[in-house]
Amino acid sequence: MKSITTQDLQTIQNHLLQKPFKYEEVFDEVLDHYATSYEQSDDTLDQVLSDLDNEFTYSKINSLNAKYFDDLRKHLRQTHWSIFFGNFKWPNLLYTLACVAGFILISPILFESKTLTKFLFGAFGAIPTFLGLYFYLKWGVKRMSGKTKLKNAHAELFGMAVGFSIFYMQIPTFGRLIYHENMKMLELHPLLTAGLLLIGLVSLSTSMKMIMTKIKPAIN
């Protein structure tokens, strides 16, 4: 088994960049496969590239692009729900119940302090949304600067990481559409106010975990 040199690796990268790769993640996986195959082969680099090109045809790569994106989307959706329901499983359930009790206790204060309530409601939805957008734009700047010509599938799907938060911010709108155009859900009852803010806190926690564990590591 031979060791691949920096020059060899650069040659492989330049060779693969001529192919229709769409996402960095797919490109990196195939690059690793090419490099490993070369290290384990007694053939010349040109021969290894030629042999592997017969396997990784243009149609094959297009298929890999589509499959990776679809699989990642399903994975992120499943992970999002898993994190959300994890708030209601032991031992996180204790933290959730403590938050429920706390919000019930301070519900009269929240109901009376409309400014604080609106601030918390907006913050719970906006913080993960803007953080996810920051990482998306950070990747966009990296791409525009020429450091990469490929897309990042995780960045493209950052909206799934903040889906709960985006939906949460639309709850008052849904209330007006379903019941009455002048309906103010945060001002109907202390317990409803506390309940909506509690949902926001759970949504915030879920989205932040998604961003920090799934989106940020794949973009940096």
* Average pLDDT of the residues in 177-199: 83
| Integer angstrom CA distances of residue 143 from 21, 136, 138, 216 | 15, 11, 9, 16
* Average pLDDT of the residues in 44-54: 96
Task: Decide if pLDDT at 220 tops 80.
Answer: no
> What integer pLDDT is reported at residue 177 of this predicted model?
73
> What integer pLDDT is reported at residue 66 of this predicted model?
97
pTM of the full predicted structure?
0.85
> What integer pLDDT is reported at residue 38 of this predicted model?
96
> What integer pLDDT is reported at residue 140 of this predicted model?
85
Closest CA to 124 of 108, 137, 110, 109: 110
> What integer pLDDT is reported at residue 188 of this predicted model?
84
pLDDT tens-place string over residues 69-123: 999 999 999 999 999 999 999 999 999 999 999 999 999 999 999 899 999 999 9
pLDDT tens-place string over residues 136-157: 888 888 888 876 788 999 988 9
> What integer pLDDT is reported at residue 166 of this predicted model?
85
Which has more confidence, 104 or 219? Answer: 104
Model confidence band, residue 211 (pLDDT cutoffs 50, 70, 90): very high
